[in-house]
Amino acid sequence: MQEFLKEIKNIPSVMGSYVHISGGREIHSDLPKIFLNKVQEIGEVFDRVIKVNLATNMHAGTIEFKFDEAMIFLRTIDQDSCLITFCETDVNKKMLNMTTGMLANEMKAAVEQVRKGGGKTAPAPAQPPQPSTSKAKEEPARKTVDVNKIIHAGPLAKVFQAFQDSLALAIGPISEMVIKDNVEIWAQKGECSQERLTELVDMLVKEIDDPSLEAEFKLAVKKHLV
């Protein structure tokens, strides 16, 4: 499974892809970690798209969804599975369609192997343990923060923009969303100061999930740290 996902990701401007199998619990993905909490939900939405496609006899091999900063391509593997690929808007669609078309038989075989319980699969993201009611009551409420003001108008606005630019080289246009989510969590834990930027960088590095790109990102933002 991971072999053909890697081959697809080698296409310029492809952020990653995953295979959704209707009713399955395993996540077969090479997407950045930021996506993993939503891939099951997205796959279930696309289940309905596949059913509509079949019911209307459209038989479209690939369906594309275009957004301002990214594109999502849905390719049916069979009536209960599909390949979902996230790309930047400048992706070579002809190359992507050609590559996924050439891999069609391999994808079908991999899906069948998973259904039979064979092959290596990537487990679904582990759910964090839920705190007991008593502990939850003891924890102080998180402070409310205006993350947009912190990022765009705060004293560290230029630093956050530099972080986003460097992160974009590693994970593409989703860097803006990743920065926003992580800065919000980071700001809730303490003062938004330059002394705490190392903590934020450590959080952002975990979103990259590629050792060489992680090293490049840390090197690029090093000058902003105390």
Please tell me the total number of residues recorded for the chain in this structure.
226
Taking phi over 0 as left and psi of -120 to 50 as alpha, with beta for the rest, 10 belongs to alpha
Q: Which residue has the tokens 């860097």?
A: 175
| pLDDT class of 164 with cuts at 50, 70, 90 | very high
20, 91: one domain: yes
Is residue 197 in some structural domain? yes
Closest among 199, 138, 208 to 172, alpha carbons compared? 208
152, 194: one domain: yes
Give tens-digit pLDDT for 179-217: 998 999 999 999 999 999 999 999 999 888 788 889 999
Is residue 133 in some structural domain? no
8, 67: one domain: yes
125-155 residues labelled b (16+ CB within 10 A) or e (exposed)? eeeeeeeeeeeeeeeeeeeeeebeebbeebe
Q: How far is it, in rounded angstroms, from Cα 76 to Cα 60?
A: 8
Give tens-digit pLDDT for 137-150: 454 556 788 999 99
Largest CA distance in the chain: 61
Distances in Å between the Cα of 209 and the Cα atoms of 27, 60, 65, 192 are 16, 33, 25, 25
Q: Could you tell me how far CA 34 lies from the centroid of its own chain? A: 4
Is residue 141 in some structural domain? no
Judged by average pLDDT, the poorest of 86-100, 117-131, 203-217 is: 117-131
CATH number at residue 93: 3.30.450.30
151, 109: one domain: no
Number of structural domains in the chain: 2
Of 100, 115, 130, which residue sits at a domain end? 115
Average pLDDT, stretch 74-85?
86
Closest among 87, 53, 94, 85 to 70, alpha carbons compared? 87
Domain that holds residue 55: 2-115
**Could you tell me whether strands 62-66 and 71-78 are parallel, antiparallel, or unpaired per DSSP bridges?**
antiparallel
- Given this model, what pLDDT does residue 124 score? 45
98, 161: one domain: no
With a pLDDT cut of 70, the percent of the chain lying above it is 80
Closest among 162, 144, 166, 147 to 216, alpha carbons compared? 166
The whole-model pTM stands at 0.54
